[in-house]
Amino acid sequence: MDLVYLKKLIKIFDDSHATALELDEKGIKIHLSKTSNISHEQTPNNQPYFAHAHVQPPQHHIEPPLFIPPASAVANAKENEVILADDMHTVLSPIVGTFYKAPSPESPSFVEIGSRVTKGQTLCIIEAMKLMNEIESDADGIIEKILVQNAQPVEYNQPLFIIKPA
């Protein structure tokens, strides 16, 4: 265990109002406790001082209730839904990051709806951890739909473009 980490942990514990702390990290068990500085003479009626901690049993994971969107949201989703023909090709995001349709804010977009693209042509940039990753087309064809807005975050395997082979 890292000694600096342990010292920080002890400092945080000392500054807190907690009276006990138990940790088990990677098989290393740590038990910290504070004892009262109150002597028997300082307590009323000469009663000993005891600190009691209430320990709760571990909570079980409960699934959140199923979210059912309002009818208006379902209607809007259906409007934006893309129905793919068997010959359509979807370009998926290979990484998590931020989608950019142009190399800079002043530059024109790499592609627009209706643009003819070839395999290996840059379609967009996805920024991940300050690195700009050019996303290339993996099929020849015409851009049928762009599924992401500029500067929108994207997830791994999220559909970005629909290409109609030509």
For 133-150, how does the pLDDT look when each residue is reduced to its tens digit (9 = 90+)? 999 999 999 999 999 999
- Which residues, 6+ apart, have CB-to-CB distance to 127 below 8 Å? 97, 98, 100, 133
Average pLDDT value over all residues in the chain: 77
Cα angle 67, 73, 76; round to 5: 145
Least confident of 33-47, 65-79, 146-160: 65-79
Q: Are 159 and 90 in contact (CB under 8 A)?
A: yes
Kindly list the structural domains of the chain, giving each domain's residue range(s) and its CATH number in brackets, ordered by start.
3-46 (no CATH), 88-164 (2.40.50.100)
pTM summary value? 0.51
Q: Are 116 and 166 in contact (CB under 8 A)?
A: yes
Using 50, 70 and 90 to split pLDDT, how confident is the model at 158?
A: very high
Per-position DSSP letters for 134-165, written without gaps between them: EEEPSS-EEEEEE-S-TT-EE-TT-EEEEEE-
Using 50, 70 and 90 to split pLDDT, how confident is the model at 14?
A: confident
Q: State pLDDT tens for residues 18-64.
A: 777 777 777 777 777 776 554 444 545 555 555 555 555 555 555 55
pLDDT at 43: 47
Mean pLDDT (whole number) for 62-86: 51
**Above pLDDT 90, what percent of the chain?**
45
SS3 annotation, 57-121 = CCCCCCCCCCCCCCHHHHHHHHHHCCCCCCCCEEEECCCCEEEECCCCCCCCCCCCCCCEECCCC
| Model confidence at 86: pLDDT above 50 | yes
| Cα diameter, the chain | 93
